[in-house]
Amino acid sequence: MRRSVCISLLIITVGICLLALPAPSHSVAAVPARSVANRPTPPVLGPVIKGFAPPAEKWLPGSRGVEFAASVGEPVTTVTAGVVVFAGQVAGAGVVSILLADGRRTTHMPVVPSVAVGQVVVPGQQIGVVGMGPPCTRTCLHWGLKKGDVYQNPMTLLQLQVRLLPLDSRPHSASGHGWPVRPLSLPGGSRRKAASSGALMPPWRGAGRDAALGIDTTVTEATRGGSGAGMSLAKRSAQSFGGNVGVDLRGG
């Protein structure tokens, strides 16, 4: 009897001691800044069906951009921030051209624009829908990148960029779009009205023969030297070349 009482007291004592022990502490390390990947998305979701393969000489045929498989009516978005310097039709194809802050210019075609000349756009913003027409021999989206007269591979704009942000913060700007955006000066230093404009050119007769070069050349003329993108290129060409209006079929 006495022995059982001692055992019971021992068990109770051990239990009390265990309850008195502090709970195991789990060291919580300082929460590090999270890694935020700014992964740009392509202008459309389809695969690339024609890669960037510029010619050795300017006058030779070649692929001066990339082409994505796309369906008519599919949304088209801009990969980068910039200002719309052309939104209209050239040679039977809708074109949207965006001037980047570093002076380069992206071109999207064929596109039915939903943006206007002079409008500032941010990455991921829809600029129109896929239309019909050159330079594709089948339904697609041609995406080009140009610095001056030099064509560059637009796929480089999709390279992943990683930066660190505090966990409780995210990128923001006065525009509310989450990207630092400021109005960009258009070529010539003059401010243009935000009105969709472009140039109506003769019907395209050379689809499939690197057509984007001629279209892009026309867009370049529309945005160079401060000339208004809404000025009729057909009229200007007629004044300059005695009424012979056309586009270069050598490549795009």
What distance in Å separates the CA atoms of residue 41 and residue 159, rounded to the nearest whole number?
10
pLDDT value of residue 242? 29
Residue 193 has pLDDT above 80, yes or no: no
Range with the lowest mean pLDDT among 109-113, 155-159, 161-165, 234-238? 234-238
**CA distances, 93 to each of 30, 50, 66, 126 (Å):** 56, 19, 16, 18
Query: Who has greater pLDDT, 103 or 55?
Result: 103
Amino acid at 194: A
Question: Interhelix angle for 233-241 vs 212-223, to 10°?
Answer: 90
In the CATH scheme, what architecture does the domain 53-158+183-241 have?
Distorted Sandwich (2.70)
HSE at residue 27, side-chain half, CA atoms within 13 A, is 2
Q: Which residues of 86-120 are buried (b: 16+ CB within 10 A; e: fewer)?
A: bbbbbbbbbbbbbbbeeebbbbbbbbbbbbbbbbb
Confidence of residue 58 (pLDDT cuts 50, 70, 90): low
Q: What is the pLDDT of residue 143?
A: 92
Q: How far apart are the C-alpha atoms of 149 and 80, rounded to whole Å?
A: 20
Q: Is the pLDDT of residue 106 over 60?
A: yes
> Cα-flanking dihedrals φ and ψ of residue 221, to 5°?
-60, -35
pLDDT tens-digit map of 214-249: 555 555 555 554 434 333 332 333 233 222 222 222
Nearest to 87 by CA among 183, 212, 219: 219
The domain limits of the chain are: 53-158+183-241
